[in-house]
Structure 1
Amino acid sequence: MARKKFEQLNLKDAFLFSAALEDPETCRLILELFLGYPIAKITVHAEHSILLSSDFKSVRLDIYASDELAVGYNMEMQNEKENNLPMRSRYYQSELDIAALKPGEDYNDMKPGYIIFICTFDPFGKGLYKYTFENRCLETDMPLGDKTMKIFFNTKGINPDEVSEELLAFLAYVEDSTDSCAEKTQSETVHKIHNRIKELKRNREMGAKFMLLEELIKNAEKKAEKKAGAEGISKGRREEQNRYSGLILQLAKDGRSDLIVKAASDTHLLNALYEEYKL
């Protein structure tokens, strides 16, 4: 299957989503649209983010951000139903909590935290565009008051009368990030987001980074095919893709992104890194 060019990517594609939300203004606009209240300023912390092939759907590419009130936000795009989102949300919440409380601070100083997933499938099978969860007492339905919330957006919802037209327009735009889709809505926010996406797609440096990483992925696939031989090519290719993407993610999280390019052309280094990370 032919790969997309950078300018053909949609917001649902891992590379474009990660690149777009590393821009604080784009991140702020999307958060305001999702949460329904104004946010003055956003700081994006992209420690976990690594721009991978647009075809790698299940690799973690989350964006962590905070506002002037130190409220924490974690957003992630999901294109493949792996039936683990509840537990992933629990893990991401724990990461936000660790960052929210400094040594010596009181527990009551912890700020609110939002875990947000944008899914191109229905994560819970109820047909809703938006699923919102918070901790509550089973006996009385009383909220726990721990200031945490987990929200799952579904681009395939079937209850348009229960959400805003602006949210519907943006979720459609996630799947089809084109001029024609943006022109269908009067939402000023969606238009602002689209203008920033178009500007990003004209960024030559970002386009070059996309091409480089696509080339790295192609090289990994070629190695997998050669290793697999005539039989089992499909299985070997899939396993090598998963192994290589896992290595890229680990290197990025450990601040060793410079080794990604080096390992692509150095078999000894690549194998040593696989052994180091037990991949």
Structure 2
Amino acid sequence: MSDRSIQKFKEYVQKLNPIDDIIFRKMAENREFCEEILRTFLQDYQLKVLNNKSQYAITNIERRSVILDAYCELRDGRRVNIEVQNADNVNHQKRVRYYSSVLTTSLMKKGESFDNVPEVCMIYICNFDIFKENKSSYLIKRVIDGSNREVDNGLKEIYISANINDGTTLSELMGVFTKDDCYSDNFPVTSKMKYDFKYVKEGNKMTDAMKELYDIFKEDFDQEVLEKSKNKWIKEGRKEGVINTLLMLVKDGIISVEDAAKRANISVSTFQKYLNEKM
């Protein structure tokens, strides 16, 4: 791998943050990272993560399958799905509804009592204010109309606006998630992992963390095209830049068509059409 390729890749990575899927998927492999952010999201500072999985696939042969950005099993039995979303171009609430249904179904055995349906928490991190009420966090509750009595069926939905700064600890964490050179002593695991992925201290070598990111791409991947696509994504928010990058990843056999379609927030058939046009 040439020094020029390393430099271009470093420049590309330095534009990324935990809100970006490629960084989040690697960080979510770390149990301590998941534990640190969940303690803030759920306001439970004794929370303990027993198991965590990044890019957790739940396959359904006859129906639409899903890939969860991060899946965690907590000590108290709760199951948590964390999703990161940069683009505001899908029906987010219905996506959360579907993901929670597929996850719940996958956790139940045939004939098992409904009493054993696990508590599931869906945490949806958006780089925009999903409900446009200028809040950093939205907890969705089920209430009886007229009495406002809350009823709990074991499903919790939390939507987080990463772009809203209201002075809370959550906003501080979201600053680390979204701002290039923002770090916090209150979130040492998140801050250190982010820094390790983005920078090297000396020389022109990549850190081990950077190498893990680079392994997602093949060595012969055209870094210049990747950088241009990413710049379009970041600066202009254009779907074309994202799709072009994903098409290259699929062609190189790095991710599947299904995974690429999910990341582009389009159907598999639509993504396949893009792919056929480029072949």
Out of 34, 37, 56, the residue aligned to residue 30 of structure 1 is: 37
Alpha-carbon distance change, 239 to 110 in structure 1, aligned in 2, over 3 angstroms: closer
2:138 equivalent to 1:131 = yes
Residue 168 of structure 1 corresponds to 171
Question: Aligned pair count?
Answer: 226
- Which residue of structure 2 aligns with residue 56 of structure 1? none
Are the equivalent residues in 2 in contact too, given 1:74–1:115 (CA < 8 A)?
Answer: yes
Structure-2-length-normalised TM-score: 0.66
> Is the counterpart of residue 39 in structure 1 residue 47 in structure 2?
yes
- Alignment partner of 1:125: what SS? coil
Aligned to 1:258: none
The residue correspondences of 1:182-221 to structure 2 (distance < 5 A) are 182-183=183-184, 187=186, 190-199=187-196, 204-214=207-217, 218=222
Asked if structure 1 preserves the Cα contact closer than 8 Å seen for 2:82 and 2:123, the reply is: yes
Shift of 1:12: 1.6
Aligned equivalents of 1:236 and 1:119: distance in 2? Answer: 20
Matches within 5 A, 1:62-73: 62-73=69-80
Code of the aligned partner of 1:166: T
1:186-240 deviation digits (Å, cap 9, x = unpaired):
52xx123212433455784542343354557648x69xxxxxxxxxxx9987765
Once the two structures are superposed, the pairs formed by residues 83-98 of structure 1 within 5 Å of their partners are 83-98=90-105
Distance in 2 (CA, whole Å) between partners of 1:22 and 1:251 is: 22
Q: Secondary structure at the match of 2:87?
A: coil
Q: Is the 8 A contact 1:217 1:241 kept in 2?
A: no
Counterpart Cα distance in 2 of 1:191 and 1:71: 25
Q: In structure 2, what is the equivalent of residue 13 of structure 1?
A: 20
In the alignment, structure 1 segments of 5+ residues that lack a partner are 50-58, 223-233, 254-270
Decide whether the 8 Å contact of 1:62 with 1:77 is kept in 2: yes
Shift of 1:252: 8.0
The offset of 1:8, in angstroms, is 5.0
Provide closer, same or farther for how the CA distance between residues 99 and 60 of structure 1 changes in structure 2, counting only shifts above 3 A.
closer
Match runs of 1:251-266 below 5 Å: none
- Mark the CA change 1:45 to 1:88 in structure 2 (over 3 Å): closer, same or farther: same
Higher helix share: 1
Distance 1:213 1:127, change over 3 A: same
> For 1:191 and 1:11, how far apart are their aligned partners in 2?
14
Give the whole-Å Cα distance in 2 for the aligned partners of 1:98 and 1:61: 14
83-92 vs 8-17, which moves further: 8-17
- C-alpha deviation, 1:69, in angstroms: 2.9
| Runs of 4 or more consecutive aligned structure 1 residues displaced over 6 Å after TM superposition | 234-238
Deviations 1:4-26 (Å, cap 9, x if unpaired)? 43355311221111111111110
Identity among equivalent positions (%) equals 19
Instruction: Show structure 2 runs of 5+ residues with no match.
Output: 1-7, 58-65, 201-205, 227-237, 260-271
What's the CA shift for 1:131? 0.9
Q: Report the TM-score when normalising by structure 1.
A: 0.66
